[in-house]
């Protein structure tokens, strides 16, 4: 049974459509949400967000934030959110390398650089999924 998902950042409404299933990168691990999920609020860490509609799966990289599961919809309030098609792989690779360098050179800023590094890894993971999705069969219905 479909339900409404909204992905929102400070800058824009990134996504607002009915979907079948979403997996978000919760602070304690991945969280899968179906229609009629129990209400909840959770923090999100930088990572990959997966959306399933029928046999189609879409991928987003998010930079952390919050998820709110409500009776009428699920709202992801993300610091940053990028669809797989919006991500430039070379820029994501450069961001990863800069974050790694900053961790080595400036230990006092390591916590912030690690968050940047996690988001860069998420962006690269989403890009990899984009590159392989056209060569793979659609995922099984119960495995997003």
Q: 100 or 139: which carries more pLDDT confidence?
A: 100
Q: 51 or 71: which carries more pLDDT confidence?
A: 51
pLDDT in tens, 4-46: 999 999 999 999 999 999 999 999 999 999 999 999 999 999 9
Domains identified in the chain and CATH numbers: 3-85 (2.60.15.10)
Residue 133 has a pLDDT of: 64
Residue 68 has a pLDDT of: 98
Mean confidence (pLDDT) of the chain? 89
H runs (alpha helix) in 26-109: 89-105
Residue 41: CA atoms inside 13 Å, Cβ hemisphere, count? Answer: 3
Q: 7 or 129: which carries more pLDDT confidence?
A: 7
CA dihedral (31, 33, 39, 42) positive or negative: positive
Residue 136 has a pLDDT of: 43
Angle between helices 110-133 and 89-105 (to 10 degrees): 160
Beta-strand runs (E) in the chain: 3-8, 13-19, 21-26, 29-33, 40-53, 56-69, 73-78, 81-83
Residues 6+ apart with CB under 8 A from 73: 3, 4, 5, 6
% of the chain beyond a pLDDT of 90: 74
pLDDT in tens, 108-123: 888 888 888 999 999 9
Residue 26 has a pLDDT of: 94
Distance from CA of residue 62 to its chain's centroid?
A: 4
Task: For residues 50 and 26, give the distance between their C-alpha atoms in angstroms, rounded to a whole number.
Answer: 12
């Amino acid at each position: 049974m479909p339900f409404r998902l909204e992905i929102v950042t400070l800058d824009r409404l990134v996504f607002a459509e009915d979907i079948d299933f979403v997996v978000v990168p919760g602070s304690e691990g991945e969280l899968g949400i179906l229609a009629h999920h129990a209400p909840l609020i959770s923090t999100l860490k930088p990572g990959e967000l997966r959306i399933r509609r029928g046999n189609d799966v879409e991928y987003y990289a998010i930079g952390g934030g919050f998820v709110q599961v409500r009776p009428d919809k699920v709202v992801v309030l993300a610091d940053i959110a990028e669809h797989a098609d919006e991500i430039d792989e070379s820029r994501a690779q450069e961001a990863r390398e800069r974050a790694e360098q900053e961790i080595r050179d400036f230990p006092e800023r390591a916590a912030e650089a690690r968050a940047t590094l996690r988001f860069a890894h998420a962006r690269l993971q989403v890009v990899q999924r984009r590159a392989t999705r056209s060569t793979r069969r659609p995922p099984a219905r119960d495995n997003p």
